């Protein structure tokens, strides 16, 4: 595919998601066709994807996320059903190692009683790791097969790494954020949650003339705590997206070198192998960081400052 496009077109193509959305009546498409009515179609250019607006769906991100999540559930449930203490298989030993590792990490981070946190940590770590690991598949293999063999359109957009799409990473982060709010209100009550936002980090005075400054301090506390609260899911999602997006970009740039002659192609092969080995650490570390930070945020949601 690199040989059929300029380097810029090749990079832009590999960074564009398969977008399905609604184009308005009268819209002129990439081939000159004018739509006679509002139509749901697959975008054939980045401009069409942009013009579809907020209602557009990244089909490849959604599809791979669901498929890889189902794959994780299938493997772990199958191992659980066939688990034996006599002669465990290699896969069972690996699964037990992962479960033990996540369980110990959660115990070291989360010191409250909630049977949901450890399974959630295991799900996040494995799911994010599998999605990240798709970045190790050569950038042209699956998109080339889908575009040329299945769809018959060499310019068909198809990304295979869900975590290089901010919609996926921020979507997971929003899920974590909603759980933070839920457990905060559940553990502290609505009044306790509001007090946490308005009475920390500066405790408003309750006696003397200082009471006159209480509303100001409460407003400052609310602004600081709200910004801090909102920044958690944003940083959580963007950290994962940024690291995987950068890794994908490097693989794409290396792939371009394969079409630049024998010597550069040979050098690209060495670079691709070296970066893939290093990237194994990146994809594992980012899955671990996402899991640990989620656990930390859940611990913060369970922490009641009034008890101290």
| DSSP letter for each residue of 165-204 | SHHHHHHHHHHHHHHHHHHHHHHHHHHHHHHHHHSSSSPP
Catalytic, 235? Answer: yes
243 is catalytic: yes
Helix (H, G, I), strand (E, B) or coil at 40: strand
Residue 239 annotated to the active site: yes
CA distances to 11, 251, 254, 287 from 146, rounded to whole Å, are 18, 19, 21, 28
If DSSP codes are grouped into helix, strand and coil, which group holds residue 39?
strand
Q: How far is CA 198 from CA 189, 191, 204, 206, 299, in A?
A: 14, 10, 9, 14, 20
Q: Which of 100, 148, 203, 235 is catalytic?
A: 235
Selected catalytic residue, list 29, 45, 114, 239:
239
The span from the CA of 157 to the CA of 153, in Å, is 9
Among residues 65, 184, 221, 243, the one annotated as catalytic is 243
The single residue listed with the structure tokens 């995987």 is 244
Catalytic annotation, residues? 235, 239, 243
């Amino acid at each position: 595919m690199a040989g059929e496009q300029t380097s810029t077109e090749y990079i832009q193509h590999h960074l564009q998601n398969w977008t399905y959305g609604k184009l308005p009546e009268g819209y002129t498409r990439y081939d000159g066709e004018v739509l006679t009515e509002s139509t749901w179609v697959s975008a054939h250019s980045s401009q069409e994807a942009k013009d579809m607006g907020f209602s557009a769906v990244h089909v490849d991100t959604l599809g791979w996320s669901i498929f890889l999540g189902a794959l994780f559930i299938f493997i772990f449930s199958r191992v659980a059903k066939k688990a034996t203490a006599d002669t465990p298989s290699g896969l069972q030993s690996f699964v037990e190692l992962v479960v033990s590792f996540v369980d110990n990490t959660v115990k070291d981070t989360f010191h409250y009683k909630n049977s949901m946190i450890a399974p959630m940590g295991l799900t996040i770590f494995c799911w994010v790791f599998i999605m990240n690991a798709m970045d190790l598949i050569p950038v042209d293999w699956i998109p080339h097969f889908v575009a040329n063999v299945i769809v018959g359109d060499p310019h068909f957009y198809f990304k295979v790494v869900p975590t290089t799409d901010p919609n996926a990473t921020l979507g997971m982060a929003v899920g974590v954020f909603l759980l933070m709010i839920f457990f905060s209100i559940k553990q502290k009550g609505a009044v306790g949650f509001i007090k946490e936002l308005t009475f920390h980090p500066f405790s408003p005075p309750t006696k003397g003339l200082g009471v006159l400054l209480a509303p100001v301090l409460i407003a400052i506390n609310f602004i600081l705590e709200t910004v801090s609260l909102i920044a958690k899911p944003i940083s959580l999602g963007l950290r994962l997206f940024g690291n995987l997006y950068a890794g994908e970009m490097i693989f794409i740039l290396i792939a371009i070198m394969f079409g630049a002659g024998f010597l550069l192609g040979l050098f690209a092969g060495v670079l691709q192998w070296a970066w893939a080995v290093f990237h194994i650490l990146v994809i594992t570390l980012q899955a671990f960081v996402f899991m640990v930070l989620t656990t930390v945020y859940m611990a913060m949601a369970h922490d009641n400052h009034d008890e101290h």
